[in-house]
Amino acid sequence: MQKKITKAIFPVAGMGTRFLPATKSVPKEIMTLVDRPLIQYAIDEAREAGIKEFIFVTSRGKSALEDYFDHAPQLERELRKKGKTELLETLAATNMESGAIAYIRQHHALGLGHAVRCARRLIANEPFAVILPDDVIAGEKPCLKQMIDAYEETGGSMVAAMEVPMAQASSYGVLDVKEDMGSIVSVKGMVEKPKEGQAPSNLAVIGRYILTPSVLRNLRNQDSGAGGEIQLTDAIASEIEQGRNVYGFRFKGQRYDCGSKAGFLQATVAFGLARDDLRDELAEYLDELQASRRAAE
């Protein structure tokens, strides 16, 4: 029986340079897919996986993110007065219990590994989850829930994994597979952003992790790695060198890289088409667009 995972870290202190100029004033995690900010998708996934404590690692300029989680009594009063019960329900679903969210500052963007280490005092000696909100994963069963169910069987540390074209492997952390058991693979090594032609496989790490507290200890001594940043991948790889088990988990679902413009646009279209209130109008528009592109060719 594994220790229950009730805490999740959301590292949101990055600079989001790929979305400049928007991210000059809007945190990337507040950008909306249809009508919900990216962070809401991440929070919902965590809640459905049984997470009770939500730890945000933030930085300067992220106050809109903190404001988003405040209750809005005046707005609720107005909606109630106008009988807008559906909107009231939408708002209520975003309300968080007092004390469930903690904010920790990362003063310098030294990398994802460093951001996770900033939360160490709130983790103590228990396994925890890490969710990167810019990886949005649509699926019947939330990705983190799938992983926690698998972790109940395996223990150890576990990363979400996905096959990518070999040519793209150098943009990801990549797994060196020891044994492939289908949805779970055991891992004998991990490389962050391998040089072209040097990736040990095409199984890439995606932004969901279940980590043992020893990863936080590894991060204490972690030198900077790929891109001059303190890499979480390197601290997880050290687990393997220290004789602890690390697994990759092939999740079921569609992952959208909302940290990139193309991924964000694809997610916007996919989530729009998944909505009953938007599907017909949007699909019609996309058909027209395609027809006019064909006509122009």
- List contacts with ligand UTP (CB under 6 A): 11-18, 28, 57, 106, 109-112, 114-115, 132, 134, 259
Nearest distance, CB of residue 132 and ligand UTP, angstroms: 4
Nearest distance, CB of residue 114 and ligand UTP, angstroms: 6
Q: Which H or E run contains 36?
A: strand 36-37
Residue number, 134 or 239, with CB nearest to ligand UTP = 134
Residue number, 111 or 272, with CB nearest to ligand UTP = 111
Task: Tell me which residue of 39, 10, 36, 35 sits closest to 27, measured CA to CA.
Answer: 39
Q: Which two tokens stand for residue 140?
A: 């019947």
For tokens 């303190």, the residue is: 230
Residue number, 153 or 223, with CB nearest to ligand UTP = 223
Nearest distance, CB of residue 168 and ligand UTP, angstroms: 15
Q: Which two tokens stand for residue 121?
A: 């005092």
Residue number, 83 or 228, with CB nearest to ligand UTP = 228
Contact criterion met (CB below 8 Å) for 249 and 152: no
Residue number, 114 or 272, with CB nearest to ligand UTP = 114
Please state, in angstroms and rounded to a whole number, the distance separating the CA atoms of residues 268 and 266: 5
Residue number, 106 or 212, with CB nearest to ligand UTP = 106
Residue 146 exposed, middle or buried by CB count within 10 Å (0-12, 13-18, 19+): buried
Contact criterion met (CB below 8 Å) for 156 and 2: no
- Give the CB-nearest residue to ligand UTP: 14
Terminal CA-CA length for the chain: 61
Residue number, 2 or 224, with CB nearest to ligand UTP = 224
Q: Which two tokens stand for residue 263?
A: 């991924």
Q: Report CA 79 to chain centroid distance, whole Å.
A: 32
Radius of gyration of the chain (CA): 20
Nearest distance, CB of residue 124 and ligand UTP, angstroms: 21
Nearest distance, CB of residue 211 and ligand UTP, angstroms: 14
Residue-wise DSSP of 160-186: EEEE--GGGGGGSEEEEEEEE-SSEEE
Strands 135-138 and 173-180: unpaired
Nearest distance, CB of residue 280 and ligand UTP, angstroms: 34
Residue number, 39 or 199, with CB nearest to ligand UTP = 39
Nearest distance, CB of residue 61 and ligand UTP, angstroms: 12
Nearest distance, CB of residue 28 and ligand UTP, angstroms: 6
